[in-house]
Amino acid sequence: MAMKNVTLSADETLIERARMVARSRQTTLNDEFRLWLASYAEAGHGAEGFDALMQRLSYVNAGRRFSRDEMNER
């Protein structure tokens, strides 16, 4: 697979914090960006994108079911 370099600009502190998170996951910021980019590109693909998102978020647990009114509170 051909790779292309991308140059990004971001706050230096934010980049360092992101690198620390990547290290804690035993990966690199570059690998995390590739995963994010693939996810971002998939996002607009209907059910496939939704299914992929739900799989990535499978670790999320609210602890209980919320009522419709609770979910719509502002």
Q: What is the pLDDT of residue 18?
A: 94
Give the model confidence (pLDDT) of 5-62 as tens digits. Answer: 989 899 999 999 999 999 999 999 999 999 888 888 876 666 777 787 788 888 888 8
Q: Contact at 8 Å (CB) between 22 and 31?
A: yes
49 phi, psi to nearest 5 deg:
-65, -40
Task: Kindly list the domain boundaries of the chain, sorted by start residue.
Answer: 12-71
pTM > 0.75: yes or no: no
For the beta carbon of residue 27, count every other beta carbon within 10 angstroms. Answer: 13
Residue 56 confidence (pLDDT): 85
